[in-house]
Amino acid sequence: MPSPTPQMHLRVAVLPGDGLGPELASCAERVLSLIQNVRGTVTFDLSRYDFGGAAIASSGVPLPSSTLEACRDADAVLVCGCGDARFGIEPEMGLLALRKQLHGAANIRPVSFPSSELAQRSAYRAELVENLDITFFRDLTSGVYYGERREATEEDGYALDTIPYNRETIQHLARLAGAYAMRSNPPKPVHSVDKYNVMATSRLWRAVVTEVFAKEFPRVPLRHVLVDTASMLLSSDPISLNGIILTENMFGDILSDQAGGITNSTDILASAAISTLTTTDMRCRGVFEPMNLKATGTLVNPIGIIHAVLHMLELSFSLHEEADALSKAIRRTLDPIELVGSDCRPVDLGGKASAAEFMDTLLHNLDYYLEAVNSAEAAGEHVVASPADSGIFLPESDLGRRPMGIIEKILTHAGIGLKTPEVRPGDMICVRVDWTITSELLWAGMEKTYDQMGRPRPYRNDRLWLAVDHTVDPRTNDRPRQQGLMAKAEKFRREAKIIDFLPANTSIMHTDFTRERAQPGRIVVGSDSHTCSSGSMGSLAVGFGAADVVMPMVTGETWFRAPEVCRINFIGALAFGVGGKDVILHILGLFKRNTIAFQRAVEYGGPGLAELSMDARFAIANMTTEFGGMGACFEADGATASWIAGRQHPQHREGGLYFRADPGAQYAEERTIDLSEVKVTVAMHPNPDDVVPIPEKAGMKLDGVFIGACTTTEEDLILAALVLEAGLREGLRPVSNGKRRVTPGSLIIIKNLERMGLTDIYRQAGFEIGAPGCSYCVGINDVDVAGEGEVWLSSQNRNFRNRMGKGSFGNITCAAAVAASSFGMEVVDPAWLLERIDRDKYERFIKAPKGPSSATFEVAEPRPDVSPQAPSSALQTVGMEGKVPMSTVPRVVRSKVQRFAENVDTDAVIPAEFMPGVDNADLGSHCFQYFRPEFREKAKNGSTIM
């Protein structure tokens, strides 16, 4: 939905030049045309002019005067090819002349991997370079290339080059680098490279740079590095130079080429020559070009020219949102499927895509990301945060509010038009929702409400997560039910241009969302009760009914009755081999279901939090719904910040709010859990709170074992594999009877397990490895269904009646216990095998895939939106197609009663295999089908009170 009236008109001089330049020019023009058409806020006047070898062939000079004049009149210049070998160095001389005439004082050359997948192709180890992010600021006007020189003669054999620099030249470049560093928050570090210990010009360089940064950019970290040290670091520890490398002409020429070599392809990089940096009220004309200007033959890889366009959008036009959209589209096109990518790589980057196929996929992805910019603007938000918006809000001492807990602070910060600067339990408030998440099964239910609303445009197409996971399996995805549900989800993806759409068997909806998207201090609403998993990242994560999720998906807001909060404080530390699943079963065993947490949000914290890994927190948050909680939220800390800092996509490493509970915050219930008391237990069918120590059930015969479901984390899967390895080493072998299946939560986790060699261990122990999905946990993919009368031990989160299959008996425990029990198909205490695990190996594995070991964060305070009037809500502007009649149900109901016991679960109400139903009547025809088959007939005969 583009803006109705263009606000910017920009002239771009396109210089195709020679070689593959004309084809690259066409690629650039397609990108700019799409931006113009989708955004509607900018128009590009694209005109081609002769240049380089093509100009020499037609007019005898590489830079005709008409081309130079057009470039002077343009807002930016795009050079696509230059270096026709037939004309020697003449084309390059034309390029130098162009830069000089347009006053290109600084060469800016970013060096990074547009996708982490490309780091695997570097000559360096991927883990050393995948986070490479260096931008070179190199002088283009002085130094040895422009100094006085004397060529050697036959007589004297003496040559001379000089390296002239003056204070003004160095000051100008240093100011450009400092201003560029300040565009990031926090400011990027600057590494000033010189040869201070030998050269007079370097001593001047260091003195001037030091002075400029001390006076004008005191917040920018400045480090002086000798050029030989810089070269050594680029060879041994490149990311230690992440940030900006500020240096003189020749050093920059050499070092930027050396850094470019790390990427293993010059065809993915680009550079710019500019005189100044653009600001909101002034544009900067620059010359933008791919790093490889001499490409000839058949076009294989157009990424270099696309990056040149990206730099032009950012540096010359300040179109930061559009540049960001293009950067994300490049990454999405190159990324593998497990990273929600298109896995479309040119042949020279190890893929199979032609240049044309790459461009078509890129433009498709760019269209979606530009829609994200449009939807953010329509919502009055920005996709790219400004440097001034740190997201850190200091306490307002004059508010006079009462002490609040973390969940209350999240709701206060998200509230719209609050009457007071605080939220209290029971308050009915309208809040901003940051993410909505769903699956193919639950979307089919949501779609009924969406149709009634007339299928309006979603609030943010980049804040909607849809994973195809519940009903799918590669063995049955060709069946009518699966095909129908996948088709509904795919239709919505295309219609809404959903960015985070995960095709069948990519990830369980909660797994990768929590690991790669959820942020502290934000609100996540999902159409599945295990949405609370995201609370492990410090979000307030709540599962709603399918229809109730449609409203925040469309408006970005929802009405919320502020819940009472139950606080769980952890102390102590877990024993080795005891994890998050054991902790939540311990809590369920102590307090039981639907007691202290019933219809409350659960907040987790305390000094023992530091002893819980992020995976352990995930498992605890995931089963908060079994505990009775309507939502979950962990206190976000350094471990949270470190995990988020290691995420694959840079845009999802920022944006969190790290709230802390105030001293004196009030809770409906507050309990302490000593982690040192947690043991391995098993919850017996059909109640997740019927928890007993696992030795009490030792020897119980099993028909099947399952390690999987969203609650089983990567850490659990690693530990279970090492338990199996220890068992095999001790001479144990799987008995021939029984079923064994392991289903990791996402393709990312499967790849990690494969890299560690752990999938081979699972196979040796008799396990089949399934594609990511809900599998036996919900038993509706037509193959992973437990048989009637079968007894299973599973690491899933629910053991309700008929959950794994009609008439089956599911018992739940940790993955390590399932693994130990799998050899003999009877329940075994895993303790003796846990003692035989190589702990160093385990520690190495669980830390291997993660990011930085430490990351900084600042504690935030809410900034309430207080208004004495009723909130002006987008919810008020969204209507239904047709009128919804007022209820005609009488205030007094007389009926026979159908009496149920406590804790009637949703699996009993509607078995998952009958969801979502064609309509409500169809859904109702299966109500209590297994749990109480006579229910429907009794209801028809007048027993309508439950």
Spatial distance between the Cα atoms of 786 and 773, rounded to a whole number of angstroms: 16
Considering 257, 348, 367, 703, which one is annotated as catalytic?
257
- For residue 448, indicate whether it is catalytic: no
Residue 109 zone, left/alpha/beta (φ > 0; ψ -120 to 50; rest): beta
Considering 124, 145, 146, 930, which one is annotated as catalytic?
145
Question: DSSP 3-state assignment of 308?
Answer: helix
- For residue 253, indicate whether it is catalytic: yes
Spatial distance between the Cα atoms of 772 and 373, rounded to a whole number of angstroms: 31
DSSP string for 911-937 = -GGG-S-SSHHHHHTTTTTTT-TTHHH
Q: Is the distance from CB of 858 to CB of 658 less than 8 angstroms?
A: yes
Considering 45, 73, 161, 228, which one is annotated as catalytic?
228
Sign of the CA dihedral 742, 748, 752, 754? Answer: positive
Tokens of 295: 């490409």
Specify the DSSP element, H or E, that contains 541: strand 540-543
Sign of the CA dihedral 552, 555, 560, 565? Answer: positive
User: Per residue, what are the HEC states of 352-386?
Assistant: CECHHHHHHHHHHHHHHHHHHHHHHHHCCCCCCCC
Tokens of 342: 């298109």
Considering 18, 75, 253, 335, which one is annotated as catalytic?
253
Length of the chain: 946
- For residue 512, indicate whether it is catalytic: no
- For residue 930, indicate whether it is catalytic: no
CA torsion 194-198-201-202 (nearest 10°) is: 20
Spatial distance between the Cα atoms of 784 and 798, rounded to a whole number of angstroms: 15
Question: CA of 525: how far to CAs of 373, 437, 442, 597, 777, in Å?
Answer: 22, 7, 13, 19, 22
| Pick from 492, 393, 545, 460: nearest CA to 864 | 393
Tokens of 71: 């470039």
Q: Residue 850: what residue type?
A: K
Helix ranges (H only) for 705-746 are: 714-729
Spatial distance between the Cα atoms of 92 and 391, rounded to a whole number of angstroms: 47
User: At CB < 8 A and 24+ separation, what contacts does 166-169 make?
Assistant: 166/142, 167/204, 167/208, 169/105, 169/139, 169/141, 169/142
Tokens of 596: 């202290």
Q: Is the distance from CB of 649 to CB of 537 less than 8 angstroms?
A: no
Q: Residue 863: what residue type?
A: R
DSSP state of 401: P
Spatial distance between the Cα atoms of 825 and 711, rounded to a whole number of angstroms: 22
Q: Residue 252: what residue type?
A: G
Angle between helix 839-847 and 714-729 (nearest 10): 150
Considering 180, 188, 195, 637, which one is annotated as catalytic?
195
Spatial distance between the Cα atoms of 539 and 526, rounded to a whole number of angstroms: 12
- For residue 459, indicate whether it is catalytic: no
Tokens of 832: 């003796």
Which positions are annotated as active-site residues?
145, 195, 228, 253, 257
